[in-house]
Amino acid sequence: MPPTDPKFYKELLDHMSDGVYFVDRDRRILYWNEGAFRLSGYKADEIVGRCCQDDTLCHVDYEGHHLCQDGCPLTASVGDGGSHAAQVFLRHKQGRRVPVSVRVEPIRDEGGAVIGAVEIFSDNTAQHAARRKTAEMERLAFLDQVTQLPNRRYAEMSLQTALSEYQVHKDPFGVMVIDLDRFKAINDNFGHATGDLALQEVAKTLTGALRNTDIVGRWGGDEFIAVVRHVDSEILRGLADRCCILVAQTSFPSSDGSTVSMSVSIGGTLVLPDDTPEGLIKRADELMYNSKTNGRSRAATA
């Protein structure tokens, strides 16, 4: 196929691992490549012709603010003719939140007038690092089979390693105990297969919400644990709030077609000089139960 053939360029774009789409000045989507389908779950025929304002991808920033209505990089590029970049979370067709790096460039006509924009979005480094971690977990039998997160054994080892490094080098870290709210009701109302799916979607959302230096694993049942390095009280609180916000904006369809919404309650604490692994977990666990007592879908840190 010669490079002058338009199909050549379509195939070239479709073979990119990044998602690519074009919009006109009204942010109506004119083109959607295969990479965009792989990252979002939406096929071109489900997206082309729709407007970004329809909020299909429901882009949010790290604080959970909806960008399709306010703060959209596409809108900014069409408006000022400049390049824009952002780190955002899109909503996958299956309901989970996917962290992506977004780059936007204006599209101009022969006279130089802006007639639209192109957005390129890709998995951020935390997601790629998570895939590498998953492969290693599988090799060492440290993987939880339901969520594909590190299992309790690996989480315990990570916590002990962080504590040992703190005792020698004073590298600060924190622990978060994360509990899926009303998990029994999900199992009772929709069945255990849907309960497993809820755990999987929460696991994916937590992985995207945290940094590539953090470890999040399944502690057991509906409970997760995260070991977060190089944090102070403000960073710990921000990470815990981000996890709560993004899980609360995650949903998926059950087998009967109804929507399953989720939330988590979180307790987070910083390491103290005389801490043991058991003491850290106990303190974070108590804070998590305070979150549940105070209404769920919230974080308590200390």
pLDDT tens digits along 26-58: 999 999 999 999 999 999 999 999 988 787 888
Distinct helix (H) and strand (E) counts, the chain: 10, 12
Residue at token pair 């949010």: 60
* Percentage of the chain modeled with pLDDT above 70: 93
Q: Which domains does the chain have, with CATH numbers?
A: 6-123 (3.30.450.20), 126-301 (3.30.70.270)
Which among 18, 181, 222, 285 is annotated as catalytic? 222
Q: Is the pLDDT of residue 125 over 60?
A: no
Q: Is the pLDDT of residue 133 over 50?
A: yes
For residue 255, with 0-12 CB atoms within 10 Å meaning exposed, 13-18 middle and 19 or more buried, which class applies? exposed
The pLDDT value given to residue 2 = 42
SS (H, E, C) 214-240: CEEEEEECCEEEEEEECCCHHHHHHHH
7-16, 89-98, 267-276: segment of lowest average pLDDT: 7-16
Q: Is the pLDDT of residue 145 over 60?
A: yes
What does pLDDT average to over the chain? 89
Sign of CA dihedral 152, 210, 248, 194: negative
Residue type, 284: A
Phi, psi of 35 (to 5 degrees): -65, -40
Separation CA 247–CA 241 (nearest Å): 10
Q: Is 222 a catalytic residue?
A: yes
Separation CA 77–CA 74 (nearest Å): 5
DSSP, collapsed to helix, strand or coil, labels residue 72 as: coil
The pLDDT value given to residue 297 = 93
pTM above 0.75, yes or no: no
Strand 259-261, strand 223-229: pairing: unpaired
- Per the CB < 8 A criterion, the answer to whether 282 and 289 are in contact is no
Q: In the predicted model, what is the mean pLDDT of residues 87-98?
A: 89
Reported as a single tens digit per residue, the pLDDT across 185-228 is: 999 989 999 999 999 999 999 999 999 899 999 999 999 999 99
76-80, 138-142, 148-152: segment of lowest average pLDDT: 138-142
The pLDDT value given to residue 6 = 59
